[in-house]
Every structure is written in C-alpha cells, then in structure tokens.
Amino acid sequence: MAPMGIRLSPLGMAVFCLLGLGVLYHLYSGFLAGRFAFFMLSEPAAGEPETPHGSGAVDLRELLAVSVLAAVRGGEEVKRVRDGNDLNAKAKGKTREGAEEQLTSGDLLSNRKMFYLLKSAFPAVQINSEERVDTADQETVSWNRSIPEDIKQRIQPKEVPAESVTVWIDPLDATQEYTENLRQYVTTMVCVAVNGKPVIGVIHKPFSAYTAWAMVDGGSNIKARSSYNEKTPRIIVSRSHAGKVEQVARQTFGNKTVIIPAGGAGYKVLALLDVAEKNQEEADVYIHVTYIKKWDICAGNAVLRALGGHMTTLSGEEISYTGSDGNEGGLIASINMNHKALIEKLPDLEKTSHK
C-alpha cells in the first residue's frame, strides 16, 4: 500500500514509466546518433576495401628525399660487402646475348635496405626492383621524414596521386664490374615515374660517396658540362658492345670518333654530365644497342630530362616506365646536342638492337 493511503493504479504506473522513457530518449538520442554516424564513417562499406595508410596524394619532394636516402643506404651495403670481400657471387641466369648475370650479397642486402625503406615511407606506391624481395627476410627500415637542406632549397612540394607513381630501384648497377673490383662503374639508383614518365632520378656512387639527383620541373644538384662535340663525339657504350658500335660510329662521324667502353648504365649517364671525380670519364653520347631493363636506365633518363637532355630508343621513341620491365629498342642519350640529328645519323644501330 502506498503512503498516506494512496493507491497507484496499473494505468498510472504505465504512464509514469512512459514519461520517464521519453525524458531519457531526449537526453541520449543525440549522443547515440553521433556515435552511430562516427561508426559509419570510420568503417568501410560492405565489400569495400579499407584505404591503406599512406594512400591518396604523394609529395614528390618527400619522395625525392627518401629516394636519395635509399640510394645511400643501399650503397653502404654494397661497399661493406665489397670491402669485406664477402660477395658470395653466383650466376642468376643469362642475358639475351648469352652472358651470365651475376648475383652477389651486395645486390641482395642493398635491395633489402632500399626496398623496405621506400615501402615503409610510401606503402601505397608501386615499387619495381631488379632483385626479388623475400618477405620472409623483411627488414624494418624507417624514415624520420626529414628533408635535406639542399632539397628544401631547390625543390618545392608537389603532390601527385599515389596510383600514378611507379618507383624503379637498381640496388647494384654494374654487378659484373663489381665482382671484378672495378669500383668506379658501380652505382645504386632510384627513379620515380609518374604516369610512365621519369620525373625523379638518383644516381649514387658508393665508393666515392657521390650522389647526383634531379627532378623534372623542379631542380637538381648536378649540371650539364659546358661543351660537347657533335661532329666527332665521344661515344660511351657497354664493354661488351664496343665492337658493334665502333664500326658504325666511325663510318658516320669519322675515324676520330672515340669509343669509350664502360660498365653500368648509371656511370654512362654521369659521363654526359659535369661530375668532378677523377674516376669519371667524359662522353658526348651514350648508346646501348640491345635489350635493357628499365631499372638500369630510368634514373638516368629522369636526370637527363630534368637538365634538358634526352634518352630515347635508337629509333627516337620515348621510353615508358610502366608495364613490362624491359626496353626492347636499345637507347641513345645526349644533352645539349641535336638529339634528332644523332638518331638520323645512326640508322643501322636500331637494327642491331634486335639481334
């Protein structure tokens, strides 16, 4: 029995409870609606993949900074292995010309360092490397997101969609020369292509700690030489191709034409530029007459483009850095020269590239 002799009917109790529920609803409905909206925005829709960390836009200035760091870190591994004479060299296959391709511990350790540094910094970006990446041998390599002062001074931030970017890394260019201890030819390289066009190039020489980098429509820390010889150029070629090029080149430009045999695509591109090193030869034109992989040439192509130079197939076509990892049409590279005229003077070399 209620106090004071008042009895509460079942109907009154029901009305009282409904009023209480109404008050609670108004108090908490806003809070619950907000939580529900947060939940819906935070979770992907059914069947929709989650957006990975680092997707969306990529700042090319940041990507240049980490590319330089990756080339240097890879170069440290290359030098350490060579200095310790712990190459563990073995054949990994044969080139189309039948020559054995060498693989060393320097290739593998440099590749691991470079790949995981770039991947940790830009996980949404596609990375193509000469060597296979073993996920069981994954290494945690972080980037502190610092940008060197020379890059800050020369390059402005520039964002591009992550899905438009492909990074090509060569963890050890000139492996054959590396096994022969011809250290001057060895480089580590990183290239960034946007929609197939090379826009960032980094070429690092591990044994002299020299690094060249450039960004198309941005800036560079290297420049072209002041003079070139277009009538009787010095032509730099692969050591194994000197005989193929020499006869055609001298018939075209004259007997005074100089053929420079050298190792490594990175080294050959640097030969066209102003590199103040005693172990760096100078040339006017770089020619390659057979199939070549894109990670060998992408960085050099980007550097030349940034400085106003050219690297094309022997028939004059631009090289796209998407799709397959090989370039079938050979290449010719020059800077501050009439590139089209050079191609027209060397018509027979395009046929040689398919042999």
| 296 annotated as a binding-site residue | yes
Closest CA to 289 of 268, 272, 273: 268
| 284 annotated as a binding-site residue | no
| 137 annotated as a binding-site residue | no
> Encoding tokens for residue 202?
């980094």
Rounded CA gap, 286 and 259, in Å? 10
Closest CA to 266 of 292, 239, 298, 291: 298
| 130 annotated as a binding-site residue | yes
Q: Is 130 helix (H, G, I), strand (E, B) or coil?
A: coil
Whether the CB-CB separation of 281 and 262 falls below 8 Å is answered with yes
| 325 annotated as a binding-site residue | no
Burial class (CB in 10 A: 0-12, 13-18, 19+), 309: buried
Q: Which residues neighbour 231 within 8 Å (Cβ) at sequence distance 6 or greater?
A: 253, 254
Rounded CA gap, 250 and 316, in Å? 21
| DSSP letter (8 states) at residue 277 | -
Chain-centroid distance, C-alpha 82? 24
Whether the CB-CB separation of 325 and 293 falls below 8 Å is answered with yes
> Encoding tokens for residue 50?
């989650």
How far CA 220 is from CA of 72, 208, 312, in Å, comes to 17, 19, 21
Give me the active site residues, please.
107, 175
Q: Look at the chain and count its residues.
A: 355
Binding residues for Mg(2+): 130, 170, 172-173, 296
